[in-house]
Chains A and B, each alone.
Chain A
Amino acid sequence: MAEAKAAPKYPTESGCPDGMQYLHPTLLKNFGNWKYHDRPRPGVLHHVAHSGDEVWTVRVGTQRQLGPYEINLLCDIIDKYADGFVRFSIRSNLEITVDKEEKVAPLIQAFEDAGYPVGGTGNSVTMISHTQGWLHCDIPGTDASGVVKALMDELHKEFIAEEMPNRVHITTSCCQINCGGQGDIAINIQHTKPPKINHDLVANVCERPSVVARCPVAAIRPAIVNGKPSLEVDEKKCICCGACFPPCPPMQINDPDHSKLAVWVGGKHSNARSKPMFHKLVAAGIANNPPRWPEATKVVLNILSTYKKDAKDWERVGDWIERIGWPRFFELTELPFTKYHIDNWHGARNSLNASTHIRF
């Protein structure tokens, strides 16, 4: 006799857990009562409370995808040299807070001895915010962790130092949906050919009207192909954005040769000085070249070194270019300026120069 199956358990809809239960006791005690902070060295934040209490926070770069070995290794260090509490920054850095200055140096030493870089604070190049790529995504044109590993190997020295004009947030995205988000520098897939359609599968796999509705330029229409209901793409209209691919996997947008990388600059989330800004296209047609993507890395390093040399203190990449103007940006970086840099989407006229403000 088969045993009666245990009744399925209804979930406890507990939602987002309270972070207060995981706060370092000194953070809990001084919650909402901090006075100021400074940065005694790259990778360390020092916060002082109105009560006079002080905490030091060490920021550590990780590979974001962590297994039990790494988690236990990092937790062992935190338990031994710190106080057993940790948080993650939005860019997947660990932040370990301690309540005594003398704990800081041994904690840093322990992370460095274990191969984990300490840095990412202030005017450094911090960890790249990224996506899943070939490891787990269903629509990726490239990998995420691999691009980030290749770039961070090159940028390690900028992660552990604070030598940039201001903080640099780099992002990568494996498709044009751009889950990596806005960045001072963003490295994103840019498709250059319309989707290749497997007409045998469309009718069974795709909800055709919603696919038609997804297209930003109305280039998709229902059609009978080879006697089967399918979809066709007006390839002259198609902007190769890939929006049809997630709802209709038989419309393959990824192409090993024609899915390229593009680099965008000047995105900024903060309201500091200027209002938040979107990043802007500066380079495209860059080979999607695993395992180390040297062509993309070269473009990024060029932009970074130009920014480092030319920008003034506190200027983010976007602030810097606002000051020097786009012609100078292309001159200094020696990147080609093409007709493709001129926007033609909704509101594009707002991006055109309607003045005689011209730098010579």
Chain B
Amino acid sequence: MAGQKPKNPEVHATYLPKDKKSTKPFHDTPMLDQLVDGPWPSFVTGLKRLAHDNNMSVDLLGQLEHSYKTRIGYWKGGTVSVFGYGGGIIPRFTELMGDDGKPMFPESKEFHTLRVQPPAGNHYSTKMLRKLSDSWNKYGSGLIAFHGQTGNIMFIGTTTEKTQHFFDEINEYGWDLGGAGPCVRTGMSCVGAARCEQSCTNEMKVHRSLVNNFLDDMHRPALPYKFKFKVSGCPNDCMNSIQRSDFAVIGTWRDDMQVDQEEVKKIVAEKGRKNIIDNVVSRCPTNALSLNDDNTLDVDNRNCVRCMHCINVMTKALSPGKDKGVTVLLGGKRTLKIGDTMGTVIVPFMKLETDEDYEKLTGLAEETIDFWAENALEHERVGETIDRIGLVNFLEGVGIDPDPHMINHPRTSNYVRLDDWDAEAEKWKNRKAAN
């Protein structure tokens, strides 16, 4: 807590070592020093600890303080790679030169980051965390970010030469680089089936089946731009996949949600009818819930859109159904270049149980990436390609039939040619008959 003295200062977020192993004197950091205090653990204190250990961190603090003073960043990119790969490293060289044209902070003049793929679900043992930290302490600044916004473990700060040594060492015990540049990027998956009752799929398996199928496209960047996979086990979408990934896989179910009426009665008894009506029933986006006079719950499952709200509130009484699968959405991304796009439903529901099911999913990803790589402009995300050419051209390109789940509503504009209307209507009838 702020202002309170730690019980044991030797094992505390505010601890600073007495011994200084680094040989370079510390730079004055009056601005960063103002971020030392306060109740939240301080990254500045962390950097200072590292600066007691290595000269690279001494100079890193120097450059960072300079940025705080001038309100300008001083890193530029470049080309650094490991043998056999074309991506996965974020090269950083200092641009901050003194009057003599030499780096003002030479010990951190090369300060590259390695993006390393975390285990699916971001699970670790303490033993493995310590091992990774030991390896990085040997070859880099010691600083690791768990995790970057794409999902990578970011090993921040090493030289061009040591990049290779560090990678060789951790690659030996099971770790591989992630993506950087125009390539398939590191994926993300939620805690899912490992610890969450709302999980509707095997998130880790989906994540690994997809990403590990495209390692060549990850390690040797040659796509139009980035391509991200994210996997959430339910529509709460804890991985933010609709807005933050090109290919979002989200667990869902198509039968009735499971209701334990005894538990419903208990929670109504505990919280009162008004509370349940206000917080559950009337918050259902499709009015699919009704609280009966005997305090049991009616669910109109045909009109439930699987939003998760009632299940989130009544965790004991309600759960997803048993006929589980996934929804796939394509094309989420942030601003650049056409403005934000959310993913669009491409597959409303598919089962993911057998090997064939998983092959179907990776097959869809392959079709998507192939079509996009062929047809995208440079630096165009798949959502932008879809925006530019229209969803229908995309669907025809990857061989997917149109489906009303893909839209909020049919077109409102009559500026369209309908030459093949009858043939298309026939296709719809045939597809219906085949199901």
Contacts and interface: CB of A to CB of B under 8 A. Distances in A.
Is B one of A's binding partners?
Answer: yes
Interface of A: 8-23, 27-28, 31-32, 34-38, 47, 55, 57, 61-73, 75-76, 78-79, 84-90, 92, 95, 97, 113-117, 129-143, 145-146, 149-150, 152-153, 156, 176-182, 210, 213-214, 216, 241, 243, 249, 254, 256-257, 259, 267, 269-274, 276, 278, 288, 290-292, 312-314, 345-347
B124 A87 contact: yes
Given A15-B117, A71-B144, A97-B195, A269 B242 contact: yes
A47 B113 CA distance: 37
Contacts of A76: 11
A290 B31 CA distance: 8
Contacts of A31: 193-194
A150 B191 CA distance: 29
Given A90-B240, A182-B243, A213-B378, 13 more contacts: A10-B83, A15-B176, A16-B211, A47-B195, A75-B130, A114-B12, A134-B68, A136-B156, A181-B149, A241-B335, A273-B285, A292-B35, A313-B279
A16 B156 contact: no
A10 B42 CA distance: 39
Contacts of B156: 65, 132, 135-136
Nearest to B408: A275
B236 to A, nearest CB: 5
A50 to B, nearest CB: 9
B41 A271 contact: no
Given A314-B279, A314-B309, A66 B378 contact: no
Nearest to B14: A115
6 contacts: A10-B84, A11-B85, A19-B189, A70-B49, A137-B75, A257-B71
Contacts of A213: 377-379
Contacts of A38: 315-316
Contact of B319 (A36, A57, A69): A36
Interface stretch (B292-300, B338-346, B366-374): B338-346
A88 B122 contact: yes
Given A27-B194, A153-B38, A72 B124 contact: no
Contact of A75 (B44, B49, B129): B129
B147 A88 contact: yes
Interface string B158-195: 00000000011001101111000000001111110111
Nearest to B93: A138
Contacts, number: 379
B433 interface: no
A177 B336 CA distance: 6
B237 A64 contact: no
Contact of B76 (A67, A90, A138, A241): A138
Contacts of B236: 270-272
B11 A114 contact: yes
Nearest to A215: B337
B122 A8 contact: no
Given A16-B176, A213-B377, A271 B235 contact: yes
Contacts of B190: 90
Given A34-B197, A178-B334, A292-B35, A13 B239 contact: no
A113 B199 CA distance: 34
Contacts of A9: 83, 168
A269 to B, nearest CB: 4
A3 to B, nearest CB: 17
Interface string B197-217: 101001010011001100110
A37 B197 contact: yes
Contacts of A278: 243, 340, 342
A161 to B, nearest CB: 13
